Amino acid sequence: MEPAASRHLDVAELWSRAAASLSIGVVLVDAEYRTVYSDYADKTPTGGFAERILLERAISALKHDARLELYRSQTLEVFGPPKSYFQLVTTPLGGAPHPPFIITVENITERKRLEEVRRDFVANVSHELKTPVGGIVLLADALSQESDPATVLRLSKRILDEGDRLARLVTDLLDLSKLEETELHQIHDVNLNEVASECIERYRLGAEARGIRLQVELADELPVVSGDRWQLSSALSNLVDNAIKYSEPGAEVQLKIVTSQTNVEAIISDQGIGIPARDLSRIFERFYRVDADRSRATGGTGLGLSIVRHVIENHQGKIDVTSTEGVGTTFTIALPRVSA
């Protein structure tokens, strides 16, 4: 027969391997509150410094108050920097007055961040939807009490404008939701010269009506990338649309396609109001607006640049922006080029 000591060693080795295979830290504490096994330091790039401090506090608390129900699950915050969140779950092993117990340690910082992003997103969506819906209700109420034809026409047009704004917001939300799946379903070779030309023609009449010149400069070599044509067209359209919205009459908006050995670049430049340096790092966030009043006045939803960022990420590309207030802004998209 196999010796008992050998079987115990096998069980101990099996326990160690099982605990090590988990993504969370595992700590075993005996009835005398001594740590007899711990592996959290091996599962964190910092060697588990924050976890060790939290565990020492948790074990000390248990030692002075053994009512484990008070400590079964704790979420603790470490202010950092950077700020981190940890969840400690304590499970007694047996029913003795002072049993040994296991503490699992999980870094839930990313989970907390995602929860915060979700809460902010819901709050922002609620606010953005409330504004046009509230406007429609008030305008409709005023319209129902109005008999003057000119006023009725004016109020009706404003209701249509608010309805269009609401429709754009819903469309952008749906587009963003699709893009965040980060999976390209319609992958083809896409000629960016063609996409750029179509984009400029789509906006030419509206831009000329505002006294803004649209220019397109196409690449001499075939600028082919692999991806979803609709997504790429959406990204260029959002940038050209923004450039027009934030330009004054007499200004010029240019879309230029250039190629290198490895990339195809789309460069969208304008002579508009520019973006303050303090805002450049945040312009791709959902619902972030440099000038909220002007954005809403021009029909912006606050989602356009976020859509652009997701499109470029989905295509393994990069987007850069440079801007000078009162001079203009340039967005540069770089996408991997398909070899001829």
In order of start, what are the domains of the chain with their CATH numbers? 4-107 (3.30.450), 110-179 (1.10.287.130), 184-340 (3.30.565.10)
In this structure, what token pair is assigned to residue 15? Answer: 């326990």
pLDDT at 43: 55
Helix, strand, or coil (residue 107): strand
Decide if pLDDT at 270 tops 90.
Answer: yes
pLDDT band at 112 (very low <50, low <70, confident <90, very high): confident
pLDDT band at 323 (very low <50, low <70, confident <90, very high): very high
In this structure, what token pair is assigned to residue 31? Answer: 């009835």
Highest mean pLDDT (candidates 26-30, 189-193, 282-286): 189-193
Q: What is the mean pLDDT of the chain?
A: 79
Parallel/antiparallel/unpaired status of strands 213-217 and 252-259 = parallel
Helix, strand, or coil (residue 163): helix
pLDDT at 61: 66
Query: Which single residue is written with the structure tokens 């989602």?
Result: 303
Mean pLDDT on 304-311: 87
Decide if pLDDT at 201 tops 90.
Answer: yes
In this structure, what token pair is assigned to residue 7? Answer: 């079987």
The percent of residues in the chain predicted with pLDDT above 70, rounded, is: 76
Do 130 and 165 contact (CB within 8 A), yes or no? no
Over its C-alpha atoms, the chain yields an Rg (Å, rounded) of: 29
Report the predicted TM-score, pTM, of the whole model to 2 decimal places: 0.60
pLDDT band at 30 (very low <50, low <70, confident <90, very high): confident
Burial class from Cβ neighbours inside 10 Å (0-12, 13-18, 19+) for residue 303 reads: buried
- Give Cα 297 to chain centroid, integer Å: 25
Strand segments, DSSP code E, in 277-317 are: none
Decide if pLDDT at 96 tops 80.
Answer: no
- Give Cα 125 to chain centroid, integer Å: 14
